[in-house]
Amino acid sequence: MVEIKPLSADYEEYLRDESRTVGSAQSISFPRTEQEVREVLSQMSDAGVPVTVQGGRTGLAAGAVPDGGHVLNLSKMTRCVGLSPARVDESGAIDPDGAFLLTVEPGVVLSQLRKDIEDKNVDVRGWDEASLAAWRALCDAREHFFPTDPTETSATIGGMAACNASGARSYGYGPMRSHVTALRVVLSDGQTLALRRGQAVARGTSLDLVTEQGGRVHVDLPTYEMPRTKNASGYFCAPDMDAVDLFIGSDSTLGVITQVELELVALPRVIWGVSCFFADESHAVEFTRSARAALRDAKAIEYFDADALDILRAQRRASTAFAALPELRDDARACVYVELQCEAEAEATEELWKLGDVLTSSGGSEDATWVARTAVDRETQRFFRHAVPESVNMLIDERRKSDPTITKLGSDMSVPDECLPAVMRMYRETLAEQGLQSAMWGHIGNNHLHVNVLPRDAGDYARGKELFNRWARSVTEMGGAVSAEHGVGKMKRDFLRTMYGERHIREMARVKAQLDPAHILGLGNLFPPDTLPLPVGSEAAGHATDDGTREA
């Protein structure tokens, strides 16, 4: 039995995550196996103690910050469990160019996973013969990789699944959800679900699940329409959807993910990064729209605005840590980074010429570009892209010395393709109207910009927060998402209500009540306190029990 420890001063760091909010809890455990997770959940469920699930605590939406009760920290569940090929031919031979499916526990850290795959150094002790055969095939095959690439590589795989994480390459590869083929989930009463894509599918909006212990759970799926854009806001729902998708992005409110089967895909042989600099933001927007249509092999399209570039210039002058950054041209007032991934240099070259044509016709210039074709140049560009948020954080840390109450306010909203110019206009006009300092960067290929308000004082901070509420309403009107990749957690649950409306929030709450009738998982995530916990016998919970749809 795993030890349930009191949350003493030694464990205070587990009350926080990267959202910089601090919660409270009475106890904490660090299970190492699924069985231990089951035992903890059974115990907490019986006692009615809320449970907050944690991985690397790198989330920005406070999903892992406890709101009382117990902290279930999965960082000790770090095993790679097994491997299988995605495709075998009629003779049973493994396709070395095809995908491989790696099953990992939720505490596996992304940076370690990447390194282990790159070095072909996964710990295969205890694997069965089929997994070992697949492993040997993977070692002999060309290089493979896991495509989801959030900026914070100390994130855990479980956390990434819980918030449907994504990153720059989501433009080409989609979010986490696109690369998860199976899950194991422990429900709040300790029962387990083994979910494989295609095997547990809803009929319309009705989903019936059978636990490994023989329990039956009926779920009435919500009826809202998902936005036509990158989205990590609330429960995924669609007619005839797969059960795997319900748990991905659920912010640990429906069950505890104890295994994730990840898709590793063949690494393209040629990867070129191209940073394009523009004298005006409108040209960058025009370029993005044209590049999306013209470039077949673009896997990432990222943006940095003039304010972000200016902050970077200042940090480069002030700090030796940034001295290795390449010099930015004085006339660069916007930058779009495009990553091309191809199978051969000839294809990449053709794409590069196309990119140059689009650039020229959008008001840019082939001279004002950086093309990274070597590992050293790619590393320089990576350093540049990551230096932007780092520089902004340093600026805010400096301001916090005089006013500790202010923090950076970062948006995470996305809109459909056709709304990109409109949303950019909205950001610019409202920021200017409020007189707020800002810096904008992010995934412009997905119309998903992180607009960061940089408050100078408490007044700026309050105006910034109000502005975010306005943006949430406008983005919703455009058919967008209030959270595109960070998840909702506790920070954005008010936006979620704006996005889906009261009725649909109630539908989401019903899903939670059906899967977690004791209302112990992820207290405060997704739902404002006045929506949950619902007392047993209320409309939503009653639906689950009165129908006899949940029986162990």
Partner 1 sequence: MMNVMVCVKAVPSTTEVKMDPVTKTIVRDGRQSVINPFDASALEVAVRIKERLGATVGVMSMGIPDTQRILRDCLARGADFGVLLSDRPFAGADTLATSYALMRGIDKVRARWAEQGSGDLSLVVCGKMAVDGDTAQIGPELARQLGFACVTSVCEVLEATEGALRVLREVDGGHEEVRVSLPALITVTKDVCNPRMPSITGVRFGMQGPVDVWGAADVGADPGRIGLTGSPTQVVRSFTPERASGSTPIEGDAHEQARAIVDMIKEMA
Binding footprint of partner 1 on the chain (CB under 8 A):
274-275, 324-327, 349, 352, 355-356, 359, 366-377, 380-381
What number of other Cβ atoms are within 10 A of residue 451's Cβ? 27
Nearest CB to partner 1, comparing residues 145 and 370: 370
Residue 445 beta carbon to partner 1: minimum distance, rounded to whole angstroms: 19
Nearest CB to partner 1, comparing residues 323 and 422: 323
Nearest CB to partner 1, comparing residues 193 and 348: 348
* Euclidean distance between CA atoms 43 and 450, whole angstroms: 41
* CA distances in angstroms from 299 to 292, 370, 447, 496, listed in the order given: 10, 17, 14, 29
Nearest CB to partner 1, comparing residues 11 and 370: 370
Residue 366 beta carbon to partner 1: minimum distance, rounded to whole angstroms: 4
Residue 498 beta carbon to partner 1: minimum distance, rounded to whole angstroms: 43
Residue 354 beta carbon to partner 1: minimum distance, rounded to whole angstroms: 11
Which helix (H) or strand (E) element contains residue 210?
strand 206-210
Kindly give, in sequence order, each residue whose CB lies less than 8 Å from that of residue 170, ignoring residues fewer than 6 positions away: 148, 149, 230, 443, 446, 485
Do residues 162 and 55 make contact, with C-beta atoms less than 8 angstroms apart?
A: yes
Residue 337 beta carbon to partner 1: minimum distance, rounded to whole angstroms: 12
Residue 59 beta carbon to partner 1: minimum distance, rounded to whole angstroms: 34
**126 φ/ψ angles, rounded to the nearest 5 degrees:** 85, 0
* Euclidean distance between CA atoms 23 and 423, whole angstroms: 34
Residue 317 beta carbon to partner 1: minimum distance, rounded to whole angstroms: 14
Do residues 52 and 26 make contact, with C-beta atoms less than 8 angstroms apart?
A: no
Nearest CB to partner 1, comparing residues 22 and 318: 318
- Cα 192–Cα 194–Cα 200 angle in degrees, nearest 5: 120
Nearest CB to partner 1, comparing residues 252 and 369: 369
Q: Distance between alpha carbon 161 and the CA centroid of its chain, in Å?
A: 8
Nearest CB to partner 1, comparing residues 125 and 317: 317
* Helix boundaries (H) for 121-214: 129-140, 157-162, 170-173
Whether omega for the bond prior to residue 533 falls within 30 degrees of 0, making it cis, is yes
Residue 383 beta carbon to partner 1: minimum distance, rounded to whole angstroms: 11
Which helix (H) or strand (E) element contains residue 298?
strand 298-305
Nearest CB to partner 1, comparing residues 144 and 316: 316
